[in-house]
Structures are given as C-alpha cells and as structure tokens.
Amino acid sequence: VTPLIDSKRLWASIIETAEFGALSQGGLRRLSLSPEDGLVRDWLRTKCEALGCTVRIDEVGNMFALWRGGTSALDPIAIGSHMDTQPTGGKFDGVLGVLGGLEVLRTLAAENYRTRHPLMLINWTNEEGSRFSPAMLGSGAHAGIFDRDVVYETRDNDGLRFRDALDSINYLGNEKLGSVKFRAMFELHIEQGPLLETAHRDIGVVLGVQGVRWFDVKLRGQEAHSGSTPLQHRRDALCAAARLVTAVRAIAESSREGVGTVGSLKVIPNSRNVIPGEVLLTIDLRNASEIGLDQMQSRLLVQLDQLRIEGFEPEISEAWRNPALRFDSDCIAAVRHGAVQAGLETKDLVSGAGHDAAYVARVAPTAMIFIPCKDGLSHNQAESATFEQCANGVQVLLNSVISYDSGAFAVCYPA
C-alpha cells in the first residue's frame, strides 16, 4: 500500500519557510545566495539530517540530501527543484518541489516504507536567474552546460561575484560538479500558466519543455520628410515592421502548439515628422517540437523575402536557441500512474517556462508534475495554490517515485 502524505505537515513547512524573505503582500524575496537563501538552506539541511540524510554540497552550492531508504547499491531516485525566488516572488514557485520532496521522505520514514532505490532530495542553486544570470545556473552546471569558473565569475548588479556570495552563506561545497549521480529525477512545480485551472484538472503530466528561438531583425527604409514625401515615394521601415509583427502573430496562430512575440522595437530616428528609416526588432518563437519551430522559422523567412522584394533589405540573425525537449517516457508513465492512483484528473502539458528538470533531462531520465495556480499567476506576490492543490501534487510525487522505484515502467532495469 502506498503511504499517504501528511498534508498539514506539508502546508506547515510551506508557511514556516516563507518566513525567510517574507514580504508584506504575502510574497517572498529570497534571491539566490542571499542571507535569506542561506537561512532556508540551513533549515532544509537540518530537517534532512533529522531524517538521517547525508547532505552533500557541490561546487556551485547545489544541495543533495541522500536518504538511504533502499537496501541496494542502486543509484538514488531524486526529487528536486529550487528555493530561490524572484525579487517579488511567491511562496510556491520552486519551493513546493523541494518541500514536497521533504514531505515524501518524511512520509516514507514515518511509515518505515522501504524503497528499492535510495532517494535523494535536491535543492538546485540559482534557478530564477534574477540575481545571477542566466537562469537554472546550478542544474545547468551540474549537466555540464555551464563551466564552473564562468559561473564563479558571474556578478550580480552590485558587482558581487557568484563565488563570493556562495562562500558568504557557507555553501561553497567540495563535491565536483556533476559527480553526484542519480537514476532519475522528478520535479513538482506550479504550472505558472492558466491551462490546468481553465480545464478544471488537478494534475499536469508534463511531456516536455517548449523549444525557443530568438532572432534579431533589421529592416531598412529611407528617412524622409513626413509632409512633403508622397505615399508612393516612401520606404517606411516601421510600416514594414508593423506587417512583420502581425505576421509573427499569424505564424504562431497557424502553428499547432506555437507562440510568437515581438517584444522590442527600436525605431530610427524615432522622430514625429520623419518617415522611419530603420527598425530593429526582436522575435521570440516557441513551440513544443523542433519540427514545429522549423516550420515557424521558414514561414518567417518567407515574410522577410517579401519585404526584401519590396526593398527593405531585411537582415536576420539568430540571438539564442534552446531546443524543444521531451521528458523520459518511463518517468512520464510513472507520473500518469501516480495521478490515477490518487484518483486525480490529469491533463498533458508542455511547459512554457524553463525548469531545472529541463537541464537535468540531459543527464538523467526526468519528468515533471504540475499543479494549478490561481489565475495562472507566478513571479508575483499574489502567486497562490491551495492547501488541497499542493497536497495533490505531493501525493502524486510520492506515488510517481514509488511507481518508478518498483520498476514497472522501466524498459531496461538493473537486476
């Protein structure tokens, strides 16, 4: 029989840790490697050690609490997320995934439940990317995407180095980056979007993370007098840009699972009575699949070709890309099973936001569980999830780990 979590104990831990960095409107300011981050880390370490965990810290401050629930020498099954927040963040984003993991360990310990694998709770450093950029620095460094020394030299807005900030809260650990191994990882998180709430579903089974492509585009027209230049003599770069903005929207609407945004425009010379001679704009395309992204990109290039024929000399360069990611099918199956077992209604989703699980998925089988959040809001003090929603998520987290541990969903499993 799969044990039931203690939802009151879970909620109490959410309320208790929300003291570290509490803001007046119910939210949190717990920037990565701040004194408040140090306090919540100390709290977590104490609670994990009280359960008999061994807590190891790696070179960028990622915390790994190993719970030897298993009797074998198998790699542990991990549960992980983050405890840092945005400057005016809420008390669920990230925190729920770590405290949910703690509740899983506490439940299994209280029931004296033996898993085959050891379990591991992970608190990833600097997920938000708010104080130190980029986001998901700790999980990315673990997965070998960011170099340790580059991370160390990253500075906050006050010029303080990451390494010094890490040292100041006593979390400069000595475990080599990437050396802590685990069999798989599960991450529970609030959805940060409106889909579950709108569909009245309890649990999001997260199939993957959207791919992203960023472009910079330059369109050239001709500056001229706004009064004395007849319309047919104009090459108005902003009119061309306006067509491109609506084209990006149309490309997204005609794609299966895509979104597209022009979020920034620079108009030159930006003067009331001069026909714009040049416009620089940014394009952000996202899609659940790489094929979808390829299609969106080729439609975009067709639009630019049209503007080229009309004499706007479009130039496009790719500023950044992050490929679409599919989570591990065994882990996803374990989540689905865990939700059904808990009697909850699920919806399959693709995450629109980045998460630690996306980087971890490059080095270990991974999946995510979403719960609804009020009005789909996050990165806001008003971010909210109910007692019941949090409890549902953590029960599914526990069920998923137990399912995965049982091996029912593994294709090739060590004997």
Rule CB under 5 A: which residues touch Zn ion?
A: 93-94
CB of 189 to Zn ion, least distance (A): 6
Tokens of 108: 């299994």
CB of 209 to Zn ion, least distance (A): 12
CA gap 13, 378 in Å, rounded = 20
Rounded to a whole number, what is the distance in angstroms from the first to the last CA of the chain?
A: 23
CB of 107 to Zn ion, least distance (A): 23
226: closest CA among 265, 266, 281, 270?
270
CA gap 289, 120 in Å, rounded = 31
CB of 334 to Zn ion, least distance (A): 21
CA gap 208, 184 in Å, rounded = 15
Strand partners, 268: 278
Residue (107 or 192) nearer to Zn ion, CB:
192
Residue (137 or 333) nearer to Zn ion, CB:
137
- Secondary structure of residue 115 in the 3-state scheme: coil
Q: How many CB atoms lie within 10 A of CB 25?
A: 9
CA gap 324, 304 in Å, rounded = 24
Residue (85 or 303) nearer to Zn ion, CB:
85
- Secondary structure of residue 33 in the 3-state scheme: coil
Residue nearest to Zn ion (CB): 94
Residue (94 or 365) nearer to Zn ion, CB:
94
Residue (36 or 93) nearer to Zn ion, CB:
93
Strands 224-225 and 119-124: unpaired
CB of 355 to Zn ion, least distance (A): 6
Residue (215 or 327) nearer to Zn ion, CB:
327
CB of 390 to Zn ion, least distance (A): 14
Residues listed for the chain:
415
